[in-house]
Amino acid sequence: MVFDLDLIKKLYGAMPAKVDAARKLVGKPLTLAEKILYSHLFETPKRAYERGKDYVDFAPDRVAMQDATAQMALLQFMTCGREKVAVPSTVHCDHLIQAKTGAAADLATAKDVNKEVYDFLASISNKYGIGFWKPGAGIIHQVVLENYAFPGGMMIGTDSHTPNAGGLGMVAIGVGGADAVDVMAGLPWELKMPKLIGVKLTGKMSGWTSAKDIILKVAGILTVKGGTGAIVEYFGEGADSLSATGKGTICNMGAEIGATCSLFAYDEKMAAYLKATGREEVAALADGIRDTLRPDKEIYADPKKYYDQVIEIDLNTLEPYVNGPFTPDLAWPISEFAKAVKDNNWPEKLEVALIGSCTNSSYEDISRSASLAQQAIDKKLKTKAEFTITPGSEQVRYTIEKDGFLKTFDSIGGVVLANACGPCIGQWARHIDDPNRKNSIITSFNRNFAKRNDGLASTHAFVASPEIVTAFAIAGDLSFNPLKDKLKNEKGEEVMLDEPKGVELPPKGFSVEDAGYQAPAEDGKSVQVVVKPDSQRLQLLEPFAAWEGTDLKGLKLLIKAKGKCTTDHISMAGPWLKFRGHLDNISNNMLIGAVNFYNDKTDSVKNELTGEYGAVPATARAYKAAGIGSVVVGDENYGEGSSREHAAMEPRHLGVRAIVVRSFARIHETNLKKQGMLALTFANKEDYDKVQEDDSIDIAGLTSFAPGKALTMVLNHKNGSKDEVTLNHTYNEQQIGWFKAGGALNVIRAEAAKK
């Protein structure tokens, strides 16, 4: 089945003329990102937009939601007053399946434990015209790449790794659920016009090096916030040499550098993938406007003239990389990794190696890893670490089973997990003798923050390509370099692993018996969506209160977070995923992973009403019950990581009035604005140090709140002195309207009521 064919025909029919008009408006040649952005404007532009400055309204082609974030997004959509979504939308059940013993048992357990949530998502999708992908169908990003992504399109998704679709030339951006609600309700979606980072790839990879190593190197160059506010566009002969799924891997992990999204130009590799996945018509349509789906030729001739920043990588000399631990931008070439392990006293013994995930579960990835597994069999080697395989979709799983790869993995002790996120997002019931013991794991996933995979702060998690991970699984030792080191086999012989071999697409084609798709009802008016009043998993939403019209006085400091504070720290996943549809219950995890500046502890803050230390959520609830608002203070790149809007909704629900930080990650800042929160930054970053534990805090200037006009935070210290601190913000008029109304959803609801 080819989805959205009429939509694609309509878009491609109009796109060349829109691009020509944009080129005249801008007055220069266009990058691919600019072509897609200008052809997806909500209204015809009257002027060129300034990158990194102008807020722009867009009209995305579709919306994708995973089950953990879809619950809250659809609970919000229910209140909008629409009978059907305005754009094609899908829900994918991939986050709630916990990896424990193996695919079949884990999937059966998930269907039982999560039945209430799956039934809710299936019924609400059926009612509002949303495509539903059942548990076991696969991970959202792989399923989107196989079925929905198309060159030149624009999509938003309620998951930070939505940019995976850039592997098929699509501007695909991770957002919070409130943004998804806007688009599903037929409203414009607002985004600050992104800056553009060009990555020129020259040469061609060979041997042990793979597409994953490109983004691991880029992460080391740009760091976890170097791509913030920018689209990363890859170009050059090296870019065209990569498979479509390899391109997807790079775009997927672009989320780890904070990029708005990443993008590749349409080429023969994309056409081949579209045809292999049954979308010959889409490939033919794309071929018809090929030049429109690539940067203008002048861009290639002088890229520095058209991008805000240009990075060049020679694929001929690129080494495999291993990144980590604890952050995805700590990049080590394989030639330097063993020394880094020893110098930093990281545990050399590898305990678990995990391949697959939304980042690296393509046929090409699996075939290259399987070639190493077959070598292990042939050379009488056994895996010395636990080894797991997570297929990205049922189509991939079925095909790699048909082609014998799963049998090969089984022969060396590999365990195949369900087609779901699993250990990548903390949905992993890991077996370990001592959870406090320092240990090392390595994955082909995208993210490796402390506690991310198994909830254990003692776990040192490293990220690499699937083939490097497989080699380490065989060696069981992080000081091993598969490019030059030998291993001792069962006979006591010294053997070396040969370079991995793989194929981009299955020679006999993709196959699947049941992909797991459920189409919605033609007319969903009679479909009932049931949420039990006493449910512990789902809770209907009450509107947040509007701003009271005054400056905020007498706020208490809830926590001053020290150092890295990701959305995992603000709203953990893992066992908390089961409460993603119940705002009050999930709010009991709010900021429990953040480190308190004043005592270096997590989930331990001072309650100014009692003088005692206690859990962050309980302290927030105490302030809320007393009618007192609170403030969260944070460090750099606050809210990096997942797109989960719960990290914004929980503070809002528990009475936090403002988040004041040195800098924000893009998605989290937007999520806070959508929920009617104040997302503010220190004009002088050193003012972070002026905040004291016992402060009573005022925020002044709200009665004249305006774009570009700073606010003031008054820190009333316990000794009677005070500091006045200037706070910057990036609110425009519309976003200030969200704040005043108590959230964007209140504005949407009010507008729907007028019609």
With contact defined as beta carbons under 8 Å apart, do 429 and 98 qualify? yes
Cβ-proximal residues to 699 (8 Å cutoff; 6+ apart), any chain: 551, 552, 555, 631, 657, 658, 678, 680, 711, 712, 713, 714, 727
Give which of 500, 501, 472, 499 is closest to 487, Cα–Cα.
Answer: 472
Q: Which among 642, 653, 657, 698 is annotated as catalytic?
A: 642
- 578 vs 571: CA distance, rounded Å: 12
Element (H, E) at 386: strand 386-390
Give which of 160, 183, 249 is closest to 211, Cα–Cα.
Answer: 249
Q: Does the annotation count 621 as an active-site position?
A: no
* Residue 722: both structure tokens together: 């005070």
Q: Which among 159, 365, 568, 635 is annotated as catalytic?
A: 159
Q: HEC string of 453-475? A: CCCCCCEEEEECCHHHHHHHHHH
- Residue 709: exposure state from Cβ atoms within 10 A (0-12, 13-18, ≥19): exposed
Length of the chain: 755
613-614 and 605-606 as β-strands: parallel, antiparallel, unpaired? antiparallel
Give which of 566, 579, 591 is closest to 643, Cα–Cα.
Answer: 566
Element (H, E) at 276: helix 268-276
Q: Does the annotation count 642 as an active-site position?
A: yes
Q: Does the annotation count 106 as an active-site position?
A: no
DSSP codes joined into one string, 18-37 = HHHHHHHHHTS---HHHHHH
Instruction: Name beta bridge partners: 234.
Output: 199, 264
Angle between helices 666-674 and 177-184 (to 10 degrees): 70
**Cα angle for residues 317, 319, 322 (degrees, 5° grid):** 160
DSSP state of 360: B
Cβ-proximal residues to 227 (8 Å cutoff; 6+ apart), any chain: 197, 254, 257, 258, 259, 260
* Residue 19: both structure tokens together: 């691009």
With contact defined as beta carbons under 8 Å apart, do 51 and 308 qualify? yes
Q: Is the peptide bond before 328 cis (omega within 30 degrees of 0)?
A: no
Q: Which among 4, 61, 67, 94 is annotated as catalytic?
A: 94
Q: Which among 368, 447, 537, 580 is annotated as catalytic?
A: 447
Q: Does the annotation count 210 as an active-site position?
A: no
- 232 vs 257: CA distance, rounded Å: 10
Q: Does the annotation count 94 as an active-site position?
A: yes
Give which of 293, 302, 308 is closest to 240, Cα–Cα.
Answer: 293
Q: How many CA within 13 A on the CB side of residue 563? A: 14
Q: Does the annotation count 20 as an active-site position?
A: no
- 394 vs 419: CA distance, rounded Å: 6
Which of the residues are catalytic?
94-95, 159, 447, 642, 644
